[in-house]
Every structure is written in C-alpha cells, then in structure tokens.
Structure 1
C-alpha cells in the first residue's frame, strides 16, 4: 500500500487507496494522495506512467475500481448555501491534450484538412463565440471573465478567427481559456506547455501564478524539466507507484536529459532499402513569391524557399507565424498552392500531378494529424496505412507490409502495442505510431512538425537519434519544426524562420 501525506492539514481532495484498471491492466493499486488547500501540484513521470489517467480520475472522467475519492471543497461550497448544487464536476475544469471542436451546427466534428478549405473553414465558431458558449459557474462572482481572459491568454487578436484556423499553440491557449472561464475550484491541465513557443511558455509561467493567486488550485501533468514557479508540490509516477516532493526538493534533484541512445544503424539501413529518398530530384521544394490570404488576413507574404535533395532544414517561428500553412502547401493539403509558383519534386503544382503523387513522396506528421487521426485501427494497421496515405487502413492488410510495420515499431521501441487499438495506448505511443507511419514507405521528404510533443526524455533522445541515423545512411530530405532547441536533430544544417508570415 502506498500512503502519501502532505504537510498541509486541511485537505482539498483525497485519493483513498484507489485502484484503476484499464484494458485488463492494473494501472494503479492502493494509490493514495492528499492534495491540501493552497497547494498546486505537478504530476510527472515517464511516458505511459499514467499521468493523464490520474488527471482524468481526479476529474471524475475515469472510474476507480476500488477505493474512493473525497472532494472536501464541496462541503465548503454547501456551507455557503449554494443552491442547485449537483456534483463536484461543476467545480473542476479540465484542459486535455485533445480538443473536440464541432461544426457550427454542432452535429459533427471538424476534420483534418478543413482549415485550408475556405468555404468549409467558415463552418466553425470563432474564438469569441466558442468562449461565449462555455457554461460558467455561478457559485461565486466570476473573476475570470471573457474580457479578462482574452488578453490574459493573448487571444484578443484572434477573437474573430475560426477555431479551425488556429495554430496548435493557439488552440492550446483557447482550451486553457475555456477551462479558466468556468472559474473552477480546481483547474486540471494536461501538458499545458506543449505546443507553446519560447516566449509563450515564459508568459504562461507568470499566468499560472496569476491563476493561483485568484484562488484556483492547479493540478497539471508536465515534463520534469518544466515545473512552473507556482507549483508547490510534485508527484512522480513510476510503475503505478507515487513519490511526492515539495517543488523545492524536486528542483534540487538531478533531472537532466538522458545520454544519447545507441541506435542499430544496420537495422535501420535494412528498413530504408528501396528508398524513394535515393531517387534523383533537382528541387524537392521551390517556392517563388508565395502569398496566402484568407479573406483580409495575409497569412504568408512573399515566401521564397528552395530545398535541394538531401538538405535538412529546421522551420522555426512563433505560434501563428504561418509554419503549418507553409507545410500544407508542400504536403498537398492546401488548394491555394495552385494559385502560386510552387515546384515539388521537379514538377510545378497544377501541371497534371495529383495530390496522391505528392503525398507518395512525403512522410508527414503534425499535431493536427495526431488530433484528427482515427483511433479505431490497431497500431500495425495505422502504420501500414502510411503506404497509402490514408487516415487508417481501408483495405486488407498485406503480410509483408504488416511485418515491416512491426519492424518500425521495434525501431521506435513500441512493438508491445502492435495489436492494440491506437485509442487504447498511451498518447506518447500513439505519436510514435504516427512517426512510424511517416517513415514506413521510406519517402524522399520527411516533414516532422513538432514530432516530440508528448514524448518523455528517453523517447525524444531515441527518436532524434533515429532521425540522425536515417539522414546519415540515405539522401532523405528533412523539414523539422519545433519550439525546443534541444529537439533539433544534429543532421539539421539549414534554418528558415517565419515571423508573422514572412521570412526573417
């Protein structure tokens, strides 16, 4: 039995010997934790350790199979004679790793390429409309109003923008804003810094302090390397057990990036045989004076970019700088490519090539692809679908290609999930499956848009080494997007930086 006590005498939430069983696996057994009033907690640990599940348990979204959870703050609220009190759910707000945006009619989910299709992209709420639709708690006079939240989350300039058009980092800020506007007693955040650029991460550190000062207690899952200043206590999950520290104790410990893993170069070379990367192209990408506009908004302005075969580029820029739009022109997802001077794989766009011709030469992964990718296939099927550039496998599996998918899973250390459904494995393993999907057809061009989101230190270092090894044994071309300098592979030698839609 694991019994954890804190220094605080007055509890806010107590987990009493809880058991959580998922897919016939005991994730937590007899796990106990007391979260005291005035404490803000960070939950950290390796990928797959159960950080997100523990947040869902506290939120009441995942049931416990044994033990109990006490929400002591409900008694305080009852003492204030609140009427029409239902359950603790009203007083807990959760901002998760994925959004669930709907169309204007609220009848269907938004889809992956919708943001780039001008007519369909209008079938979505604006940022302001989305926040106005959030049900606000009335148990207290709200401190966090829309008028206060828009500037606090730097959403003022995005208020009239359709939510489908937001960048990954902008979407993250909107989800946090929607949780905050409920004025909860407890705010649960699942990796809130993921997808935010350097400046926004620093700003968000201060914002969390403001949120805590307003009387809201924070419980967040995060990397051990990113513990905000307002955090008072840290819980470390490992193999179903919990260790707790004060934030001062934790930060004084040794929490550093792992050493660079040793990669089986010969094994990767065998996987990368018959690679399209070894076909000869003059220009992988050539853009001349590219402009992209949505209504009155100029998203990309006068972009000139030439990528030769075998070059390895980092594409950098703040949230909303235009990186995703630029990549959509290369990956065949943006119809405005036809109205611009763009050459891909030595062929001008609009000269007769199909989108599928382009996609067949590209291995692609992005936060948006992860957000919208269907999860009802097995992991092997998801990876095999990379051969066909479909969001899932819609044909009978090929034995040879399924075996190759398994070899890629081994290369990325996720083979134990091979026959599990994508939706039933940890988020980090889901992301690695999509990375394997991008690699499996050995394309001429790899586009990795924030590929290390959600990966722990070991997974990040391992994947980075896999990328560098592939670059060393082939003529593959690489475009790599990240907000973290340490994630950029050593093989990257060129940089394109965007600021407000222009090259700087």
Structure 2
C-alpha cells in the first residue's frame, strides 16, 4: 500500500482553508454553520482542490449525508414494519458487500446478528452503520464522510470512530469527517474548528410576527393524546417492543430516548397509524381505540409527524410550497387549505430562517441538504396539529437553526402535545418536562 501526502486548499468566503493530509490519518472538521460546510463540500466535489506533494494514488470518495443506493427504488415508506413485504428485499449482508474488510467490520458491529435480516428491518441508526460499512472500499485513499454522527447514539458514535481508525490503519486511507456539531475531539488525529470571519448575526427572533402561524388548532377536546398499554411488537422470533406502556396527556411535552435499535421509531409508527401490528395492541389515540373500521385519515389529520425515514422517502421533485400543501392536506376527505394562505405563512417562516423567499417554488432536491430538511419541517409545523412528533429532526442543522426552531416550539406551541426524539442533549426544546426511555 503506497504512502501519500497532499495539500488541500479550499477557497471559502472570507478565507482559504489549507490542510496537509497524509495516509492513515483520521480528521474531523467542525464547521460553524451548515452553510459553510455545504460550501466546503461543494468545492471538494467540483474543483478537487488537491496538490500532491508526493505521488497520490487517489481515489477520492465522498459519502454524503443522505446516502441512497440503487436497491432503494423498490422500497416504500414504512416497509420495514410490514414483515410480509420484506421477503424479496436484499439482506444486510448482501447490501454491505462481500469483501474481506467489510465482512470483518460487520462481525465487529451491532449488525453482526443481523446479517441475514432484510435491509429494510434496520432502524435509522443501524442503517447508517450499514451504509458506512458499504462505503468502506479499500481502493479509496481519501474518504469524506458528511455529518457522520447524525442519528447515532453515543455508544455507536464511539464504535464508528474506532472502526474508522481501524480502516485508516488497515488500508492507509485518510478519512475526513465533516460536521456542524462538536464531537469527541480526542478520538481523532486532527480536529479542526472552521469559523468564517465576519459572519452576519441571524435575524432578531422577534422581528417577524409568528403568532398567526400557530392558531386555530383542530380537535382539542381530548384528555389523552395517546395511551399505550402492554404493547408488543415482534417479527418471528425477534422482539422489538415488549410490554411497553405509556400515556401522554393533552399539552404535555415529552422526550423519547433510547439507544439505536431500541424501538423508538417502531413505537412512534404505532401512534401515527403506520404500523400493521397496531391493530393487535391496546392503543388509544385521542381517547379513541385504534381498531379496524376507524378512519386512518382522522388519526393522521391530527398528527404532525417528521422522521428521517419520512424525509428520505418524500418526493423531492416537489417545490417547498407543494410539499407543505401535501403535508397540511393529509386527509383526502377534508377540504384542502387555500394555497395562498399556506404560501403567506411559508414566506414568514422562510424569512425567519433567513432563506431566500424566491426558493418557495424551487424543487426541494435543488436546495442544500440542510434546507431540504428545513423545508419539510416547515410544512410539518404549519400543519398545526394537536400532536407534534419530531423523530430526530435536526440532522445536519447547526446550532443557530436548532435555536431558532426550538424558539418556535417553546414560544408558540404551548397547547400542542409534543414527542421529541434525539440522541443529542442540546437538541431538546426547553419546554420538555417528561422523559420516556426505551432500553
């Protein structure tokens, strides 16, 4: 395996970033904002700003935050909850690959007992690990990993970093992780914080009238948003949820926590009427039993729901406005909200988050990754439902966006029942006053 060294020179607004990198090094670049990181990665993709100081046998690989794969085109949203639909889906083993290095890393990961499971059965965190293992190609000499730790709990973050170190040593690869969140700097060979000078301060929070956005909530006459009693979910011999009970009253603000694979997303899919096993369990939604014959759209109409899986499977060819209308008008049996009203509210939110208003009519896929996610979340907020479920919403968000979003929740959603999921303690809104743990 040939040793190499090279210079990396990236011209960002206001400054040039210079790095001297060598084989077998593990880097982490922490950026001050999602915008700065997006600009940096754009330059890497389009200008390949490397100057070899020795022979550079380069295959440069960029593993994006939103990893997709060609097999995913046959999947559908929530397929992992439908056991009978997974018989023809490739296994975890086949998805990751058969070379020696990949197989060795599978054996050292939390996926070692899941080799023969359908790839759609994995949780968000488990799927991220599978994608990382799939990306480990020995011929790659420089690998960029965007927002590597989004969706991973602390145990898996440490485990992945150790995997990366093993990979660096075994293949003489230089791995560079990019992130907007602080991480365990001592675990990297080089940890660099990149802050651009003369950054403009974000718009004053109170400068835009936001209260009209969150009025006229439907269906407020209930005691319990949901009540789960002795919930069980299993696939053949694999138990996902075992005797789980949880009651959430109107207006309460809950944090749902648990390690990767503990069943958080499965539990939420029962509440959101997405999981087929909900009919076999004792579930009350808005004081009404979840049973055959009840209109599923009446349930979904009163829940505003966001998850990484929901985001991943959305049609990103739609514009921001079209996406918001689709989310808000989720019940096909109710009159649709006026597009002009929705556009007016979206305009206020775009201004609040310092996004160009003219992009309201842009397809979501043309936006930067952070703005894609924010565009969908704005539609979820404007649904103005009595129950708001946010399952790890802040992937790719820097601290400024998190602060602004949490301000909306803390200041304007007092009557809304909230379920919030994250592995990052800094993500939770201050209004959270209840905690539910899955182990």
Q: C-alpha deviations, 1:93-143, integer Å up to 9, x for none?
A: 43321232444xx8x34222211222223332111111226xx6xxxxx6x
Shift of 1:44: 3.2
RMSD: 3.2
Shift of 1:157: 1.8
TM-score by length of 2: 0.87
In 1: Cα distance, 2:102 partner to 2:212 partner: 57
In 2: Cα distance, 1:68 partner to 1:262 partner: 37
CA contact 1:361–1:443 (8 Å) conserved in 2: yes
Q: C-alpha deviations, 1:383-428, integer Å up to 9, x for none?
A: 22221239xxxx9972222222222333444354423221122211
Structure 1 stretch 263-272 or stretch 358-367: which is displaced more?
A: 263-272
The equivalent of 1:378 in structure 2 is: 319
CA contact 2:325–2:337 (8 Å) conserved in 1: no
Q: Do the aligned partners of residues 207 and 11 (structure 1) sit closer, same or farther apart at CA in structure 2, a change above 3 Å counting? A: closer
| 1:122 aligned counterpart, secondary structure | coil
The equivalent of 1:112 in structure 2 is: 77
Q: Do the aligned partners of residues 48 and 379 (structure 1) sit closer, same or farther apart at CA in structure 2, a change above 3 Å counting? A: farther
In 1: Cα distance, 2:349 partner to 2:17 partner: 38
Q: Do the aligned partners of residues 357 and 408 (structure 1) sit closer, same or farther apart at CA in structure 2, a change above 3 Å counting? A: farther
Q: Is 1:42 equivalent to 2:28 in the alignment? A: yes
Q: C-alpha deviations, 1:422-454, integer Å up to 9, x for none?
A: 112221122211211111121010000011111
Q: 1:302 aligns with which of 243, 246, 249?
A: 243
Q: C-alpha deviations, 1:430-484, integer Å up to 9, x for none?
A: 2211211111121010000011111001111111121111233xx1100000101
CA contact 1:12–1:72 (8 Å) conserved in 2: yes
Q: Is 1:316 equivalent to 2:260 in the alignment? A: no
TM-score by length of 1: 0.76
Structure 1 stretch 263-272 or stretch 458-467: which is displaced more?
A: 263-272
Q: Is 1:218 equivalent to 2:179 in the alignment? A: no
In 1: Cα distance, 2:314 partner to 2:32 partner: 24
| 2:83 aligned counterpart, secondary structure | coil
Q: Any gaps of 5 or more consecutive residues in structure 2? A: none
In 2: Cα distance, 1:32 partner to 1:480 partner: 37
Kindly indicate whether structure 1 or structure 2 has the higher relative contact order, using CA contacts under 8 Å at least 6 residues apart.
2
The equivalent of 1:493 in structure 2 is: 433
The equivalent of 2:89 in structure 1 is: 124
Q: Do the aligned partners of residues 296 and 224 (structure 1) sit closer, same or farther apart at CA in structure 2, a change above 3 Å counting? A: closer
Q: Do the aligned partners of residues 232 and 174 (structure 1) sit closer, same or farther apart at CA in structure 2, a change above 3 Å counting? A: same
CA contact 1:380–1:402 (8 Å) conserved in 2: yes
Q: 2:190 aligns with which of 229, 232, 242?
A: 232
CA contact 1:380–1:406 (8 Å) conserved in 2: no
Q: 1:100 aligns with which of 68, 86, 89?
A: 68
Shift of 1:216: 1.8
In 1: Cα distance, 2:373 partner to 2:352 partner: 14
Q: C-alpha deviations, 1:60-101, integer Å up to 9, x for none?
A: xx433xx8645677x465xxxxxxxxxx4xx33433212324
Q: 2:330 aligns with which of 376, 389, 408?
A: 389
Shift of 1:145: 4.2
Shift of 1:353: 2.4
| 1:381 aligned counterpart, secondary structure | helix
Q: 1:471 aligns with which of 384, 396, 413?
A: 413
Q: Is 1:201 equivalent to 2:157 in the alignment? A: yes
Q: 2:266 aligns with which of 303, 306, 325?
A: 325
